[in-house]
Structure 1
Amino acid sequence: MAGCASSLARIDTWEGQLPAEVKPAVLQAPGAIQVVSVNGRSMTNFLVEDLALDYGLQPGANEVVFSYKTIWAKTGVVRDGESKVHVIDSGRQVARFEARPDTVYRFDFEKPESRRAAEAMSENFSARIVAADGTAVATSEAWDGQSRLVSERTPLPASEAGTASSAGETAGTALDRLKSVWVEASDEEKKAFLRWAFE
Protein backbone atom coordinates (compact mmCIF):
# COMPACT_ATOMS: atom_id res chain seq x y z
CA MET A 1 0.00 0.00 0.00
CA ALA A 2 1.50 3.29 -1.03
CA GLY A 3 0.52 6.32 1.02
CA CYS A 4 -0.12 9.73 -0.45
CA ALA A 5 2.99 11.85 -0.27
CA SER A 6 2.86 15.60 -0.21
CA SER A 7 5.77 17.96 -0.69
CA LEU A 8 6.57 20.74 1.78
CA ALA A 9 8.95 23.67 1.57
CA ARG A 10 12.66 23.05 1.99
CA ILE A 11 13.89 22.22 5.49
CA ASP A 12 17.28 23.79 6.12
CA THR A 13 19.67 21.53 8.02
CA TRP A 14 21.86 24.22 9.59
CA GLU A 15 21.39 26.85 12.26
CA GLY A 16 21.81 30.54 11.59
CA GLN A 17 22.09 32.33 8.26
CA LEU A 18 24.25 31.30 5.35
CA PRO A 19 26.31 34.10 3.78
CA ALA A 20 24.40 35.54 0.82
CA GLU A 21 26.95 34.25 -1.68
CA VAL A 22 26.61 30.61 -0.50
CA LYS A 23 24.06 28.64 -2.52
CA PRO A 24 22.85 25.56 -0.62
CA ALA A 25 22.34 22.17 -2.21
CA VAL A 26 19.02 20.32 -1.93
CA LEU A 27 18.43 16.66 -1.05
CA GLN A 28 15.02 15.36 -2.11
CA ALA A 29 13.65 12.56 0.08
CA PRO A 30 10.56 10.57 -0.97
CA GLY A 31 7.95 9.52 1.57
CA ALA A 32 9.54 6.10 2.12
CA ILE A 33 12.78 7.74 3.34
CA GLN A 34 12.72 9.28 6.80
CA VAL A 35 15.71 11.53 7.44
CA VAL A 36 16.71 11.27 11.10
CA SER A 37 19.62 13.72 11.24
CA VAL A 38 21.93 15.73 9.03
CA ASN A 39 25.44 16.52 10.26
CA GLY A 40 24.43 15.57 13.79
CA ARG A 41 21.39 17.86 13.84
CA SER A 42 18.10 16.09 14.48
CA MET A 43 15.44 16.68 11.85
CA THR A 44 11.85 17.48 12.85
CA ASN A 45 9.47 14.56 13.09
CA PHE A 46 6.17 15.33 11.42
CA LEU A 47 2.83 14.06 12.69
CA VAL A 48 2.08 12.57 9.29
CA GLU A 49 4.56 10.04 7.92
CA ASP A 50 5.14 9.39 4.24
CA LEU A 51 5.89 13.03 3.42
CA ALA A 52 8.18 13.83 0.51
CA LEU A 53 10.55 16.49 1.84
CA ASP A 54 13.40 18.61 0.50
CA TYR A 55 16.40 19.24 2.75
CA GLY A 56 18.73 22.19 2.28
CA LEU A 57 22.40 21.18 2.68
CA GLN A 58 25.45 23.31 3.18
CA PRO A 59 28.01 22.86 0.40
CA GLY A 60 30.83 20.54 1.45
CA ALA A 61 30.84 17.41 3.60
CA ASN A 62 27.43 16.15 4.70
CA GLU A 63 26.38 13.14 6.78
CA VAL A 64 22.75 12.08 6.38
CA VAL A 65 21.23 9.46 8.72
CA PHE A 66 17.92 8.03 7.54
CA SER A 67 15.75 4.93 7.42
CA TYR A 68 13.63 3.30 4.74
CA LYS A 69 10.10 2.60 5.96
CA THR A 70 7.03 1.32 4.17
CA ILE A 71 3.55 0.31 5.31
CA TRP A 72 1.60 -2.56 3.78
CA ALA A 73 -2.04 -3.44 4.50
CA LYS A 74 -2.66 -6.78 6.18
CA THR A 75 -4.91 -9.21 4.37
CA GLY A 76 -7.41 -11.36 6.24
CA VAL A 77 -8.97 -10.89 9.64
CA VAL A 78 -7.36 -8.47 12.09
CA ARG A 79 -7.96 -9.16 15.80
CA ASP A 80 -8.84 -6.43 18.30
CA GLY A 81 -5.78 -4.41 19.25
CA GLU A 82 -3.72 -5.84 16.40
CA SER A 83 -2.22 -3.47 13.88
CA LYS A 84 -3.96 -3.38 10.51
CA VAL A 85 -0.68 -2.90 8.66
CA HIS A 86 2.76 -4.45 8.28
CA VAL A 87 5.51 -1.88 8.93
CA ILE A 88 8.80 -2.64 7.22
CA ASP A 89 11.82 -0.66 8.39
CA SER A 90 15.40 -0.97 7.15
CA GLY A 91 16.94 0.29 10.35
CA ARG A 92 19.14 3.37 10.27
CA GLN A 93 21.43 4.00 7.32
CA VAL A 94 24.04 6.70 6.73
CA ALA A 95 25.22 8.37 3.54
CA ARG A 96 28.21 10.70 3.47
CA PHE A 97 29.00 12.91 0.50
CA GLU A 98 30.33 16.26 -0.67
CA ALA A 99 27.44 18.49 -1.70
CA ARG A 100 28.09 21.00 -4.45
CA PRO A 101 26.49 24.46 -4.23
CA ASP A 102 23.11 24.93 -5.91
CA THR A 103 22.87 21.23 -6.84
CA VAL A 104 19.86 18.94 -6.42
CA TYR A 105 20.38 15.40 -5.12
CA ARG A 106 17.87 12.61 -4.55
CA PHE A 107 17.66 9.13 -3.02
CA ASP A 108 17.72 6.23 -5.48
CA PHE A 109 16.73 2.71 -4.39
CA GLU A 110 14.68 -0.28 -5.54
CA LYS A 111 10.92 0.08 -5.31
CA PRO A 112 9.49 -3.27 -4.13
CA GLU A 113 6.29 -4.53 -5.74
CA SER A 114 5.10 -6.56 -2.75
CA ARG A 115 5.40 -6.80 1.02
CA ARG A 116 7.61 -9.90 0.72
CA ALA A 117 9.94 -8.07 -1.66
CA ALA A 118 10.04 -5.11 0.74
CA GLU A 119 10.87 -7.40 3.68
CA ALA A 120 13.67 -9.07 1.72
CA MET A 121 15.04 -5.72 0.60
CA SER A 122 14.97 -4.23 4.11
CA GLU A 123 17.39 -6.88 5.40
CA ASN A 124 20.21 -5.56 3.18
CA PHE A 125 18.85 -2.15 2.32
CA SER A 126 21.08 0.37 0.60
CA ALA A 127 20.27 3.62 -1.19
CA ARG A 128 22.35 5.77 -3.47
CA ILE A 129 22.46 9.55 -3.42
CA VAL A 130 22.43 10.74 -7.02
CA ALA A 131 22.76 14.14 -8.67
CA ALA A 132 20.26 15.43 -11.25
CA ASP A 133 22.31 13.90 -14.09
CA GLY A 134 22.08 10.45 -12.47
CA THR A 135 25.67 10.40 -11.19
CA ALA A 136 25.92 8.55 -7.86
CA VAL A 137 27.81 10.52 -5.21
CA ALA A 138 27.30 8.13 -2.27
CA THR A 139 25.96 4.71 -1.31
CA SER A 140 24.46 4.26 2.13
CA GLU A 141 25.56 1.74 4.71
CA ALA A 142 24.21 0.58 8.06
CA TRP A 143 24.51 3.32 10.69
CA ASP A 144 26.69 2.30 13.63
CA GLY A 145 25.80 5.36 15.70
CA GLN A 146 29.26 6.89 15.24
CA SER A 147 29.16 10.29 13.60
CA ARG A 148 32.19 11.44 11.67
CA LEU A 149 31.04 15.01 12.21
CA VAL A 150 31.43 15.73 15.92
CA SER A 151 29.43 18.94 16.01
CA GLU A 152 26.87 20.63 13.84
CA ARG A 153 28.14 22.63 10.91
CA THR A 154 27.12 26.19 11.67
CA PRO A 155 27.80 28.76 8.95
CA LEU A 156 29.88 31.81 9.76
CA PRO A 157 28.17 35.16 9.26
CA ALA A 158 29.47 36.82 6.10
CA SER A 159 31.09 39.62 8.11
CA GLU A 160 33.11 37.07 10.10
CA ALA A 161 34.04 34.65 7.35
CA GLY A 162 37.24 36.38 6.24
CA THR A 163 40.50 34.48 6.51
CA ALA A 164 42.74 37.26 7.75
CA SER A 165 42.70 38.00 11.47
CA SER A 166 43.31 41.41 12.93
CA ALA A 167 44.48 42.69 16.29
CA GLY A 168 41.09 44.28 16.88
CA GLU A 169 39.14 41.05 16.24
CA THR A 170 36.39 40.32 18.77
CA ALA A 171 36.19 37.19 20.92
CA GLY A 172 32.95 36.18 19.19
CA THR A 173 34.65 36.11 15.80
CA ALA A 174 37.55 34.06 17.15
CA LEU A 175 35.11 31.64 18.80
CA ASP A 176 33.16 31.23 15.57
CA ARG A 177 36.38 30.47 13.70
CA LEU A 178 37.44 27.93 16.31
CA LYS A 179 34.06 26.18 15.95
CA SER A 180 34.41 26.16 12.19
CA VAL A 181 37.93 24.69 12.31
CA TRP A 182 36.90 22.12 14.95
CA VAL A 183 34.26 20.62 12.64
CA GLU A 184 36.84 20.07 9.90
CA ALA A 185 39.56 18.65 12.18
CA SER A 186 40.34 14.93 12.31
CA ASP A 187 39.93 12.92 15.55
CA GLU A 188 43.72 12.91 16.05
CA GLU A 189 43.93 16.68 15.58
CA LYS A 190 41.12 17.20 18.10
CA LYS A 191 42.86 14.98 20.67
CA ALA A 192 46.15 16.83 20.15
CA PHE A 193 44.40 20.18 20.58
CA LEU A 194 42.65 19.09 23.79
CA ARG A 195 45.94 17.79 25.23
CA TRP A 196 47.55 21.17 24.46
CA ALA A 197 44.59 23.16 25.81
CA PHE A 198 44.44 21.38 29.17
CA GLU A 199 48.15 20.92 29.89
Structure 2
Amino acid sequence: QRMAGHFGVLLEAIASEPNTRLGDLPLLTDAERQQLLVEWNPPASQVPRESSIPAMVEAQVRRTPDALAVITPERQLTYRELDAKANQLAHRLRGLGVGPEVRVGLCVERTEDLVIGALGILKAGGAYVPLDSSYPRERLGWLLEDAQGPALVAHSHLLSALPETSATPVCLDSDAELAKQPTTAPVVD
Protein backbone atom coordinates (compact mmCIF):
# COMPACT_ATOMS: atom_id res chain seq x y z
CA GLN A 1 0.00 0.00 0.00
CA ARG A 2 2.78 2.39 0.89
CA MET A 3 4.62 1.72 -2.39
CA ALA A 4 1.41 2.28 -4.33
CA GLY A 5 0.92 5.55 -2.43
CA HIS A 6 4.47 6.64 -3.25
CA PHE A 7 3.93 5.75 -6.90
CA GLY A 8 0.73 7.84 -6.86
CA VAL A 9 2.62 10.82 -5.40
CA LEU A 10 5.26 10.41 -8.12
CA LEU A 11 2.65 10.23 -10.92
CA GLU A 12 0.89 13.36 -9.64
CA ALA A 13 4.21 15.22 -9.55
CA ILE A 14 5.05 14.09 -13.10
CA ALA A 15 1.67 15.29 -14.33
CA SER A 16 1.99 18.68 -12.63
CA GLU A 17 5.68 19.24 -13.46
CA PRO A 18 6.49 17.22 -16.62
CA ASN A 19 9.85 18.96 -17.26
CA THR A 20 11.30 18.11 -13.85
CA ARG A 21 14.01 15.46 -13.63
CA LEU A 22 12.71 12.18 -12.20
CA GLY A 23 15.24 12.25 -9.35
CA ASP A 24 13.95 15.65 -8.24
CA LEU A 25 10.31 14.54 -7.95
CA PRO A 26 8.82 13.63 -4.57
CA LEU A 27 7.85 10.13 -3.48
CA LEU A 28 6.65 10.98 0.02
CA THR A 29 3.41 12.58 1.02
CA ASP A 30 3.60 15.83 2.97
CA ALA A 31 2.71 13.94 6.17
CA GLU A 32 5.50 11.37 5.61
CA ARG A 33 8.02 14.11 4.84
CA GLN A 34 7.02 15.95 8.03
CA GLN A 35 7.40 12.75 10.06
CA LEU A 36 10.80 11.82 8.62
CA LEU A 37 12.41 15.23 8.55
CA VAL A 38 10.87 16.93 11.59
CA GLU A 39 9.28 14.52 14.05
CA TRP A 40 11.93 11.80 13.90
CA ASN A 41 14.90 14.17 13.78
CA PRO A 42 15.42 16.60 16.65
CA PRO A 43 16.59 20.08 15.74
CA ALA A 44 20.37 20.45 15.78
CA SER A 45 20.07 22.74 18.79
CA GLN A 46 18.94 19.77 20.91
CA VAL A 47 22.14 17.84 20.21
CA PRO A 48 25.11 19.28 22.10
CA ARG A 49 27.81 20.13 19.57
CA GLU A 50 30.61 19.84 22.09
CA SER A 51 29.69 16.30 23.10
CA SER A 52 32.47 13.83 22.60
CA ILE A 53 31.92 10.13 22.09
CA PRO A 54 33.14 9.35 25.63
CA ALA A 55 30.78 11.99 27.08
CA MET A 56 27.85 10.53 25.15
CA VAL A 57 28.67 7.01 26.38
CA GLU A 58 28.98 8.26 29.96
CA ALA A 59 25.59 9.99 29.67
CA GLN A 60 24.09 6.72 28.43
CA VAL A 61 25.67 4.89 31.38
CA ARG A 62 23.89 7.28 33.74
CA ARG A 63 20.55 6.79 31.93
CA THR A 64 20.59 3.03 31.31
CA PRO A 65 23.62 1.37 32.93
CA ASP A 66 22.32 -2.17 32.50
CA ALA A 67 21.16 -1.85 28.88
CA LEU A 68 23.19 -3.75 26.30
CA ALA A 69 25.80 -1.60 24.60
CA VAL A 70 27.80 -4.19 22.64
CA ILE A 71 26.56 -7.50 21.34
CA THR A 72 28.89 -9.95 19.61
CA PRO A 73 28.47 -13.67 18.98
CA GLU A 74 30.89 -14.37 21.85
CA ARG A 75 29.85 -11.78 24.41
CA GLN A 76 27.51 -9.00 25.49
CA LEU A 77 28.47 -5.88 27.43
CA THR A 78 26.20 -3.46 29.23
CA TYR A 79 26.93 0.26 29.13
CA ARG A 80 28.25 0.03 32.69
CA GLU A 81 30.65 -2.81 31.77
CA LEU A 82 31.79 -1.10 28.57
CA ASP A 83 32.46 2.16 30.40
CA ALA A 84 34.35 0.43 33.22
CA LYS A 85 36.59 -1.52 30.83
CA ALA A 86 37.24 1.54 28.66
CA ASN A 87 38.10 3.55 31.80
CA GLN A 88 40.59 0.90 32.92
CA LEU A 89 42.24 1.00 29.50
CA ALA A 90 42.25 4.80 29.55
CA HIS A 91 44.01 4.86 32.95
CA ARG A 92 46.59 2.34 31.71
CA LEU A 93 47.22 4.44 28.60
CA ARG A 94 47.45 7.67 30.61
CA GLY A 95 50.16 5.99 32.68
CA LEU A 96 52.07 5.31 29.47
CA GLY A 97 51.89 8.94 28.36
CA VAL A 98 48.77 9.00 26.21
CA GLY A 99 46.98 12.32 26.37
CA PRO A 100 45.33 14.88 24.11
CA GLU A 101 46.21 14.48 20.44
CA VAL A 102 48.50 11.50 21.06
CA ARG A 103 47.97 8.78 18.46
CA VAL A 104 47.67 5.16 19.55
CA GLY A 105 47.69 2.15 17.25
CA LEU A 106 44.68 -0.15 17.63
CA CYS A 107 45.12 -3.68 16.30
CA VAL A 108 42.35 -5.98 17.55
CA GLU A 109 39.90 -8.34 15.95
CA ARG A 110 36.28 -7.32 15.43
CA THR A 111 35.09 -8.24 18.88
CA GLU A 112 33.87 -6.23 21.84
CA ASP A 113 37.54 -5.32 22.33
CA LEU A 114 37.38 -3.11 19.24
CA VAL A 115 34.78 -0.92 20.95
CA ILE A 116 36.59 -1.05 24.31
CA GLY A 117 39.89 -0.16 22.65
CA ALA A 118 38.59 2.76 20.61
CA LEU A 119 36.59 4.17 23.54
CA GLY A 120 39.46 3.69 25.99
CA ILE A 121 41.90 5.53 23.72
CA LEU A 122 39.42 8.40 23.32
CA LYS A 123 38.83 8.53 27.09
CA ALA A 124 42.60 8.83 27.59
CA GLY A 125 42.47 11.87 25.33
CA GLY A 126 44.21 10.14 22.45
CA ALA A 127 43.28 9.39 18.88
CA TYR A 128 43.25 5.83 17.62
CA VAL A 129 44.98 4.67 14.47
CA PRO A 130 43.22 1.54 13.18
CA LEU A 131 45.63 -1.22 12.18
CA ASP A 132 44.45 -4.26 10.26
CA SER A 133 46.78 -7.21 10.80
CA SER A 134 46.11 -8.34 7.22
CA TYR A 135 47.81 -5.19 5.85
CA PRO A 136 51.32 -5.67 4.46
CA ARG A 137 53.98 -5.34 7.17
CA GLU A 138 55.50 -2.38 5.35
CA ARG A 139 52.21 -0.46 5.50
CA LEU A 140 51.71 -1.36 9.17
CA GLY A 141 55.26 -0.18 9.89
CA TRP A 142 54.60 3.12 8.15
CA LEU A 143 51.34 3.62 10.11
CA LEU A 144 53.03 2.86 13.43
CA GLU A 145 55.98 5.11 12.62
CA ASP A 146 53.65 7.93 11.58
CA ALA A 147 51.55 7.55 14.75
CA GLN A 148 54.64 7.83 16.99
CA GLY A 149 52.48 6.90 19.97
CA PRO A 150 53.83 5.65 23.29
CA ALA A 151 51.37 2.74 23.32
CA LEU A 152 49.81 0.18 21.02
CA VAL A 153 46.48 -1.44 21.94
CA ALA A 154 46.26 -4.95 20.49
CA HIS A 155 45.32 -8.58 20.89
CA SER A 156 48.40 -10.56 21.93
CA HIS A 157 48.17 -13.04 19.04
CA LEU A 158 48.20 -10.18 16.50
CA LEU A 159 51.49 -8.69 17.74
CA SER A 160 53.50 -11.10 15.59
CA ALA A 161 51.87 -9.61 12.45
CA LEU A 162 53.12 -6.14 13.39
CA PRO A 163 56.62 -4.83 12.76
CA GLU A 164 58.78 -3.88 15.73
CA THR A 165 57.85 -0.60 17.32
CA SER A 166 58.95 1.46 20.29
CA ALA A 167 55.31 1.69 21.43
CA THR A 168 54.46 -0.29 24.56
CA PRO A 169 51.90 -2.98 23.73
CA VAL A 170 48.76 -3.08 25.85
CA CYS A 171 47.09 -6.40 25.08
CA LEU A 172 43.39 -6.33 25.88
CA ASP A 173 43.33 -10.12 26.19
CA SER A 174 46.36 -10.56 28.46
CA ASP A 175 47.61 -7.34 30.10
CA ALA A 176 47.39 -8.01 33.85
CA GLU A 177 47.79 -4.29 34.62
CA LEU A 178 44.37 -3.49 33.11
CA ALA A 179 42.45 -5.21 35.92
CA LYS A 180 44.36 -3.16 38.51
CA GLN A 181 43.24 0.18 37.02
CA PRO A 182 40.33 2.26 38.36
CA THR A 183 36.95 1.85 36.66
CA THR A 184 36.19 5.56 36.98
CA ALA A 185 36.86 7.98 34.12
CA PRO A 186 40.34 9.48 34.08
CA VAL A 187 40.88 13.23 34.24
CA VAL A 188 42.15 14.44 30.89
CA ASP A 189 43.77 17.86 30.65
Q: TM class, shorter-chain normalised?
A: under 0.3
TM-score by length of 1: 0.22
Which structure's residues are more often strand, by fraction? 1
The structure with the largest alpha-carbon Rg is: 2
Which has the higher relative contact order, 1 or 2, with Cα contacts under 8 A spaced 6 or more apart? 1
Structure with more helix by fraction: 2
TM-score, normalised on structure 2? 0.23
